[in-house]
A and B are shown apart, each in its own frame.
Chain A
Amino acid sequence: MKLRLEEISKGQEEVIVRYRQMNATIQAICDLVQKPDKKLLVSSDGAQQYMLIDDLLYFESIDGKTFAYTEDSVYQVHHSLKDLVQAYQDRGFFRAAKSLVLNLYRIAHFKSQSFGRIEATLDNGEKVLISRKYAAKLRQLLREGVADED
Chain B
Amino acid sequence: MKTKWEEVLSQEIAIKYKAGIYSLCHLLYFALYLLSQQKNQIGLLQLAEIVLLAWLVNHLQVYLGDNFDEADQISGKWWFSAIICSILYLLAATLLNWFEGDKLATLGFGFFQLFCYIGVYINNKIKRQIDSRQLNQQLQDFKKRRGNHHD
Residues of A participating in the B interface, judged by any CB pair closer than 8 Å:
27, 31, 92, 104-105, 107, 109-115, 118, 133, 139, 141-143, 145, 150
A27 to B72, CA, bound (A): 42
Contact A107 B139 (CB under 8 A): yes
Please, which residues of chain A bring their CB within 8 A of the CB of B146?
92, 105
With known contacts A110-B132, A150-B1, A115–B142 Cβ distance under 8 A? no
Contact B138 A143 (CB under 8 A): yes
Residues of B participating in the A interface, judged by any CB pair closer than 8 Å:
1-2, 67, 70-72, 124, 127-129, 131-132, 135-136, 138-139, 141-143, 145-146, 150
Which of these, A113, A143, A150, contacts B128 with CB under 8 Å?
A: A113
Smallest beta-carbon distance A31→chain B, Å: 8
A111 to B144, CA, bound (A): 20
Which of these, B2, B67, B71, B128, contacts A112 with CB under 8 Å?
A: B128
For A109, A110, A118, A139, the residue with the greatest tally of chain B CB atoms inside 10 Å of its CB is A110
Contact A113 B135 (CB under 8 A): no
Contact A110 B139 (CB under 8 A): yes
Contact A109 B129 (CB under 8 A): no
A110 to B67, CA, bound (A): 22
Contact A114 B139 (CB under 8 A): no
Contact A27 B150 (CB under 8 A): yes
A27 to B147, CA, bound (A): 10
A139 to B124, CA, bound (A): 18
Smallest beta-carbon distance B56→chain A, Å: 21
Smallest beta-carbon distance A126→chain B, Å: 16
Contact B2 A133 (CB under 8 A): yes
A110 to B150, CA, bound (A): 25
Please, which residues of chain B bring their CB within 8 A of the CB of A105?
143, 146
A sample of 9 inter-chain contacts (CB < 8 A) reads: A27-B150, A31-B150, A92-B146, A110-B135, A110-B139, A113-B128, A114-B72, A142-B139, A143-B138
Which of these, B72, B141, B143, contacts A113 with CB under 8 Å?
A: B72
A92 to B144, CA, bound (A): 12
Output the nearest chain A residue to B72 by Cβ-Cβ distance. Answer: A114
Contact B135 A142 (CB under 8 A): yes
Please, which residues of chain A bring their CB within 8 A of the CB of B138?
139, 142-143
